[in-house]
Structure 1
Amino acid sequence: MKQLTMFTMAIVLFSGVSLLTAEETKSGLQSGEHVGPFYVTKLCGADEDGVTVGKNLCYRCKNGGRPQVMVFTRSSDENVVKLVRQLDKAIPENDSKQLRAFVNVLGEDKTAGKSTAKKLATSSEAKNVPFVLPNEFENGPADYGINPKADVTIIMVDGGKVIANHAAGSAKDLDVQAVVDDLSKILN
């Protein structure tokens, strides 16, 4: 009986920790922080953005002080695909505000990252969003503080400063609508 009680308590505690972790995932630069440069290699997408596939550059720098959404993902989950579709749609709708977005695919090796990027580009059918592999491909730029346990981190920037941040330990927990709603914060 004592073992059963301890086992039940362990399950309850473990479940509580899992729920807490899913709700409180913190990853990436936070509101008010300055967004520094970092280099990536363009893998695919955004054929008309003036950057050729294979080029190594700083997209953050290319976008300058414009409002931009930087997605860092380890997943090609349907929620990430939905987010990319929404961002791809928002870019031409906000042409006068010069909205930009780019998806940084993270992973343990470059080959897997390239495969994930191509899968996301194909699944999302994105025309305006480039998919890139950061030079620091495992966890993104060191000074950005991307949580290695976060499947998805979204940093929303205007004027070189973070305005909003969204992160999910599991891509299945990503609140796509909350991210889309926060676009208004960077499109003022």
Structure 2
Amino acid sequence: MRRLPLSMCFAFTLTAFALSLPTPIANAVGSTVSDGLKQGDPIGAFRVTKIGGATDDDVEPGDFLCYRCRYGSSPMVMVFARKAGPKSIELATKLDSAIGQHASSKLRGLFTFIGEDAANLKKVATTFAEQSGVVHVPVVIAEDTQNGPIDYRIAEDADITIVIAQDSQVFTSHVFDADAIDVTQVIGDVEKMLQ
């Protein structure tokens, strides 16, 4: 009987494992729990370009970096936005305020714009940073502009996806229509995480 080399056995095992993983199902827009990352899932690294906000983080607009890496295992709120509007500005300002209030907990935030029109994202993000006036939350554009970081499984039809994490794991996540963000629920979840 012919034996396969160990490297081929590993390749077959890896392929079988990958095929056994569940595939993300598109999220119904307006729902409050994301079909992407779930509680306890690890959060991965991803690179972004800073556009504005976070005037106190020693990162200049135009810098390309991994904020997720900088934040380490600190508690954090990562917002992925395809659309901006009054509710997303309200979310950003409330998150900015929460970060200021919870400085001792090292709470961090990140507002990441994603979408198909990469050329327009910089304009949208710049306007958003100016209108929100955030000083603790960086406003950035994802390197993977169309759908954000692949490991985060952001639904293609989701306007706003929010991942609340601590110790490099998801505490909870939400998906909202841009005009239906439940800011009170999100900030409430942040408070629960910090208890």
TM over 0.5: yes
- Residue 92 and residue 22 in structure 1: after superposition, are their counterparts in 2 closer, same or farther (change >3 A)? closer
Gaps of 5+ in 1: 1-19
- Residue 25 and residue 162 in structure 1: after superposition, are their counterparts in 2 closer, same or farther (change >3 A)? closer
Per-residue CA shift, 1:123-142, capped at 9, x if unaligned? 21111111111110111011
Contact 2:121 2:141 (C-alpha < 8 Å) held by counterparts: yes
2:147 aligns with: 139
Contact 2:50 2:63 (C-alpha < 8 Å) held by counterparts: yes
SS of aligned partner of 1:165: strand
Match of 2:104 among 69, 85, 96: 96
Aligned partner letter, 1:57 = L
SS of aligned partner of 1:156: strand
| Segment of structure 1 superposing worse, 81-90 or 51-60 | 51-60
- Residue 181 and residue 47 in structure 1: after superposition, are their counterparts in 2 closer, same or farther (change >3 A)? same
SS of aligned partner of 2:96: helix
Aligned partner letter, 2:194 = L
Task: Determine whether 1:45 maps to 2:53.
Answer: yes
1:161 CA drift (Å): 0.1
How far apart in 1 are the matches of 2:37 and 2:114? 16
How far apart in 2 are the matches of 1:99 and 1:105? 20
1:28 aligns with: 36
Q: What pairs up with 1:35-114 in 2 under 5 angstroms?
A: 35-114=43-122
Task: Determine whether 1:179 maps to 2:186.
Answer: yes
TM-score normalised by structure 1 residue count? 0.85
Aligned partner letter, 2:135 = K
Aligned partner letter, 2:58 = G
TM-score normalised by structure 2 residue count? 0.82
1:4 aligns with: none
1:25 CA drift (Å): 6.2
1:21 CA drift (Å): 5.0
How far apart in 2 are the matches of 1:24 and 1:91? 23
How far apart in 2 are the matches of 1:117 and 1:27? 25
Contact 1:153 1:167 (C-alpha < 8 Å) held by counterparts: yes
Gaps of 5+ in 2: 1-27
Per-residue CA shift, 1:140-159, capped at 9, x if unaligned? 01111000100000000100
Aligned partner letter, 2:105 = K
* Structure with more helix by fraction: 1
1:66 CA drift (Å): 0.3
1:27 CA drift (Å): 4.5
SS of aligned partner of 2:123: helix
Q: Hey, which bits of structure 1, 4+ residues long, moved more than 6 A?
A: none
Identity of aligned residues (%): 37
1:28 CA drift (Å): 3.3
Contact 1:25 1:150 (C-alpha < 8 Å) held by counterparts: no
